[in-house]
Amino acid sequence: MRTKLYIDGQWRDAANGKQADVVDPATEEVVHQFASASPEDVDLAVKAARRAFDQDGWSRTTGKQRAQYLRRIAKIIGERQQELAALETLDNGKPLPEAMWDVGDSAGCFEYYAKLAEELDNDEHAIAVSDDRFACRIRREPLGVVGAITPWNYPLLMASWKVAPALAAGCTVVLKPAELTSLTALELAAIAEQAELPAGVLNVLTGSGSVAGDALVKHKQVDKVAFTGSGPIGSQIMREAATDMKRVTLELGGKSPMVVFEDADIEATVEWMMFGIFWNQGQVCSATSRVLIHESVYDKVLERLVDEAGKIKIGNGKDEGTLLGPLVSKKQLDQVSAAVERARSEGATVVCGGRRAPGFDKGYYYEPTVLADLKLDSDAWVEEIFGPVLCVRSFKTEAEAIEVANESRFGLAAAVMTQDQARAERVSNALRAGIVWVNCSQPGFTEAPWGGYKQSGIGRELGPWGLDNYLETKQVTSYVTPAPWGWYIK
């Protein structure tokens, strides 16, 4: 496990010598320490990224050249999948098979953007303009130095979603991972080093959000901030970035609805419902955490759900068969517990769970929980809990379901469960969310756009949209007529 910051191709201690702890959420033990970057370190890293972009020529490499680095990174991630997944489980608590997916998807993300980097080489093209005395061509260019700030729920994957397209576009990056889960970001730096990525192109600064993250957002030589995290920090970043017009993309929280119609396949629905809220212990921005069930099947669905939720094996993420690991931290456990207690005190029915998982002396384990009888304006129904807590309500009509589903300041994702094709199309079109799943919940694809409406964020990651985030568009217009322009000199 690495301890140091990766700046300009070198491993360094923090300038002020500060360190932070890695706590295993399954045992509550401190298992490691890593450097906690100071503003001075941020300055060094940004200046290295600036130099790599402006002078060393990374921004002028061809897409084909950049693709070779990205493919090497993808290959090494793939070769180290098991080991990286084990680090992710140690750091975040998630079950090992889920961590294996994340790492596999991270490798896939680098592979995908290698292909898009190559395509950029043929991207420049002419466009017809309304005055044929002029010829106009359009090219896209890397936008500069990127400050990438990532959360703790999918550490390596969220870093890959930013670093891979940014490098593919020809940008240089300073990555600041979440302080709770820094291990795989440091390994990503080591992988970039092994892939012989030029010094300064990718820098990784572990450390706190309020110190290192804040210094990165405020740094004058950063051109863009790509952020995934909570809404309040997202707003703060947007305000800071406005000072010098930094580009910003924000991937924030959600309270995504799932609408279950009376004709849904109940067994399949219960399975997706559980996946939608218990996967990664519910610490998923797109978790379908509000479920609306048609009144005619409400009791039946709830009964099956509670039955299955009771069978979920809770345990250390590295143990075989574990489906629900610990929450990421004591703070997260306290927040989830407090949200459930508040709901209970406001009159919600705790249908199952609703407490720390019994049988564990140590570890931040919380039971799979289902809350019912919630008021529409209650915090539990409206706010993101970010834990294994599902809120359910019944509805009578399709119109009511759509209205209640859309009644949220968030708009990241939504799911519709029905066997009626026409209804699936009608309802998915009516839902105000960036991602709508029909008869499923949570699948994501590197090729498809990811991001939210309303307060769930600004912009889209992944697919070609993810690459666009790191490009500027330039028009080059030439006067091609042999005759003079004739405006001043006749």
Beta carbon nearer to ligand NAD, 98 or 179 = 179
Q: Does 384 bind ligand NAD (CB under 6 A)?
A: yes
Query: What residues does 249 pair with on adjacent strands?
Result: 226
Strand partners, 145: 172
Instruction: With CB under 6 A as the rule, give the number of residues binding ligand NAD.
Output: 29
CB of 310 to ligand NAD, least distance (A): 27
Residue number with the shortest CB distance to ligand NAD? 209
Give strand ranges (E) for 184-263. 202-204, 224-228, 247-251, 257-260
Under rule CB under 6 A, residue 175 binds ligand NAD: no
Query: What is d(CA 170, CA 143) in angstroms, rounded to the nearest whole number?
Result: 8
The reply on whether position 251 binds ligand NAD by CB under 6 A is yes
CB of 239 to ligand NAD, least distance (A): 11
Vertex 250: Cα angle to 246 and 252 (nearest 5):
155
Please pick, from the candidates 53, 69, 112, 152, the single residue that binds ligand NAD as defined by CB under 6 A.
152
In this complex, which beta carbon is closest to ligand NAD, that of residue 163 or of residue 264?
163
Examine the residue annotation and report whether 285 is marked as an active-site residue of this protein: yes
Minimum CB separation of residue 209 from ligand NAD in Å reads 2
Instruction: Name the one range near ligand NAD by CB under 6 A: 10-18, 89-97, 102-110, 232-240.
Output: 232-240
Selected binder of ligand NAD within 93, 108, 151, 354 (CB under 6 A)? 151
Question: Is residue 459 a contact residue for ligand NAD (CB under 6 A)?
Answer: no
229 binds ligand NAD (CB under 6 A): yes
Q: Of these, 36, 61, 92, 150, which contacts ligand NAD (CB under 6 A)? A: 150
Tell me the CB-side half-sphere exposure of residue 295, using CA atoms within 13 A. 6
Binding residue (CB under 6 A) for ligand NAD from 68, 236, 335, 439: 236
Contact segment (CB under 6 A) with ligand NAD among 55-63, 97-105, 175-183, 267-275 equals 175-183
Nearest to 165 by CA among 480, 487, 468: 468
The one among 96, 189, 201, 233 contacting ligand NAD by CB under 6 A: 233
Q: Which stretch binds ligand NAD (CB under 6 A): 63-71, 112-120, 233-241, 361-369?
A: 233-241
Of 285, 367, 384, 461, which is the active-site residue?
285
Give the strands of the sheet with 369-372, arranged side by side: 349-352, 369-372, 389-395, 290-294, 257-260, 413-417, 435-438
Query: To the nearest whole angstrom, how small is the minimum distance from the Cβ of residue 89 to ligand NAD?
Result: 18
Say whether residue 157 binds ligand NAD (CB under 6 A).
no
List binders of ligand NAD among 13-72 (CB under 6 A).
none
Alpha-carbon distance of 125 to 141, in angstroms, equals: 13
- Residues 392 and 373: beta-carbon distance below 8 Å: no
Burial class (CB in 10 A: 0-12, 13-18, 19+), 132: exposed
- What CA–CA distance (Å, rounded) separates 410 from 473? 30
Across the chain, which distance is largest between two alpha carbons, in Å?
92
* Helix then strand then coil, % of the chain, to nearest 5: 40, 20, 40
Active site includes 109?
no
User: Crossing angle for the helix pair 155-169 and 183-194, nearest 10 degrees?
Assistant: 40
**Contact set for ligand NAD, span 269-298 (CB under 6 A):** 285
Cβ proximity to ligand NAD: between 178 and 374 the closer is 178
Rule CB under 6 A: is residue 235 a binding residue for ligand NAD? no
Convert residues 396-415 into a mask of x (bound to ligand NAD by CB under 6 A) and - (unbound): ----------------x---
Give yes or no for residue 374 binding ligand NAD (CB under 6 A): no
Catalytic one of 179, 187, 251, 461: 251
Report strand pairing: 134-142 vs 290-294: unpaired
Instruction: Give residue 451's region: left, alpha or beta (phi > 0; psi -120 to 50).
Output: left
Supply the DSSP string of 379-390, one letter for each residue. HHHHS---SSEE
Is 176 a residue that touches ligand NAD (CB under 6 A)? yes
Closest to 92 in 3D by CA, of 364, 378, 356, 354: 364
Catalytic residue annotation: 251, 285
Please report, as ranges, the residues that interact with ligand NAD according to CB under 6 A: 149-153, 176-179, 209-210, 213-214, 217, 228-230, 233, 236-237, 251-254, 285, 384, 386, 412, 457
